């Protein structure tokens, strides 16, 4: 199975996925730390993939998402964006309803 197919399968299997550097408990970049913190603050469960532990995913994900940087949040298979976008969406009130809808 190609890496892009594996990514698409993960997106199909998990309604909320954060592709990040490190893990939510041990992020390995400031942007990933911010994105994970924002998601954790909502109380909604999410899956994550450490792209540093899976370099093939780090290379292939921009091909799937057409989004060049990390972290990348996907909700229901659609790329939402990185840490600044996630933070802004939380502040505007857009993020939590999307997360709750996806988790339901």
Cβ neighbours of residue 50 closer than 8 Å, sequence gap 6 or more: 20, 21, 22, 23, 28
57 prior amide bond cis, ω within 30: no
- CA distances from residue 65 to 40, 41, 88 in whole angstroms, order as listed: 23, 25, 20
53 prior amide bond cis, ω within 30: no
Structure tokens at 53: 């532990």
Check whether 27 is labelled as a binding-site residue.
Answer: no
**Residue ranges of the binding site for [2Fe-2S] cluster:** 29
**Residue ranges of the binding site:** 29
């Amino acid at each position: 199975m190609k890496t892009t197919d594996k990514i698409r399968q993960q997106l199909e299997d998990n309604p909320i996925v954060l592709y990040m550097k490190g893990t939510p408990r041990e992020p390995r970049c400031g942007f990933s730390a911010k994105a994970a913190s924002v998601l954790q603050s909502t109380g909604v469960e999410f899956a994550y993939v450490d792209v540093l532990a899976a370099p093939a995913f780090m290379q292939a994900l921009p091909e799937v998402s057409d989004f060049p940087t990390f972290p990348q949040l996907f909700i229901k298979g659609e790329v939402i964006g990185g840490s600044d976008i996630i933070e802004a969406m939380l502040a505007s009130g857009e993020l939590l309803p999307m997360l709750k809808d996806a988790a339901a």
